[in-house]
Amino acid sequence: MSAIFDRIAAIGVVPVIAIEKADYAVPLADALLEGGLAAAEITFRTAAAAEVMAILRDKRPELLTGAGTVLTTEQVARAVDCGAAFALAPGFDPTIVDAAAGAGLAFAPGVMTPSDITLAAARSCRLMKFFPAVPAGGPHMLKNINAPFAHLGLRFIPTGGVTLDTMKDWLALPEIAAVGGTWIAKAEDMRSGDWSGIAAKARAAVARAREIRG
């Protein structure tokens, strides 16, 4: 893994956030940082994503901010322009992997099958996003499909259906770098301005990761 992903692995959890308004960027960052969660994945699922990442780069550089749901090479370029430190995708596309490598952007493609892992590993990817984690079979499935690749030292960030209560099932596996947490900062929380609630969920997630990993 790159040094960027090492930092995420040290935290154990990265919030996956679909943020609807740029005005939410700073209060969101402050809530996450207050909760001790110094990383965030801002997904390209909303029109505000690029602007939010640029704001966080300029105003909250202490938050390790990455781009999520990267589906095109154009989004790779936008992520870099907006100061994203890392990027993840829901699937594997060799052109996107190559574009990220060419841009010097730490990148984790999405995988769900042994074939996906084979293709990603052939492109020198050593960190991958297991998505959708729970519908794809959960920790037991990931452990089994990764078994033939264990000698490669691959690591994963499972995202999709992971919760505070199930973090232990994932983080107990040595191949898990961190979990993706969609529950930490939901759209409705940001709409209602529940920044204290987001901070509390961030704090609980960080504490749980530390408890699990000792």
Active-site choice (21, 34, 51, 129) = 129
Whole-angstrom Cα distance, residue 142 to residue 144? Answer: 5
Tell me whether residue 34 is one of the annotated catalytic residues: no
Among the listed residues 54, 62, 64, the one whose alpha carbon sits nearest the alpha carbon of residue 86: 64
Per the DSSP assignment, residues forming a β-bridge with 39 are: 64
Look up 129 and say whether it is catalytic: yes
Catalytic residue among 20, 21, 41, 201: 41
The one-letter amino acid code at 81 reads D
- 121 residue type, one letter: A
The per-residue DSSP string of 56-115 comes to HHHH-TTSEEEEES--SHHHHHHHHHTT-SEEE-SS--HHHHHHHHHHT-EEE-EE-SHH
- Which positions are annotated as active-site residues? 41, 129
